[in-house]
């Protein structure tokens, strides 16, 4: 295998891993923000029945 090709494969692998780590961090931050809003009583809370209906009927999710 050409050394240049091998170097590109390695670079792509590292970039992909960095992107995955960034997504994981973004998810963690989003969950933390939602948790803080919930604890402050901000935002919408859903009943168990509402959650079940949203799971069954995609149109009821309203961008949740």
Is the backbone of residue 27 left (phi > 0), alpha (psi -120 to 50) or beta?
alpha
> CB 39: neighbour CB atoms within 10 A?
8
Q: How many domains does the structure of the chain reveal?
A: 1
**Which of the pair, 44 or 33, is modelled with greater confidence?**
33
Mean pLDDT of all residues belonging to the chain: 83
Q: Which domain holds residue 21?
A: 3-60
Distance CA 64, CA 57 (A): 12
Condensed to tens digits (0 to 9), the pLDDT of residues 21-36 reads 788 888 889 999 988 9
Q: Cβ distance 17 to 23 under 8 Å?
A: no
């Amino acid at each position: 295998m050409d050394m240049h090709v091998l170097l590109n494969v390695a670079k792509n692998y590292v970039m992909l891993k960095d992107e995955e780590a960034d997504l994981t961090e973004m998810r963690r931050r989003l969950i933390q923000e939602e948790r803080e809003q919930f604890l402050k009583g901000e935002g919408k809370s859903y009943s168990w029945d509402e959650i079940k209906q949203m799971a069954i009927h995609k149109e009821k999710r309203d961008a949740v």
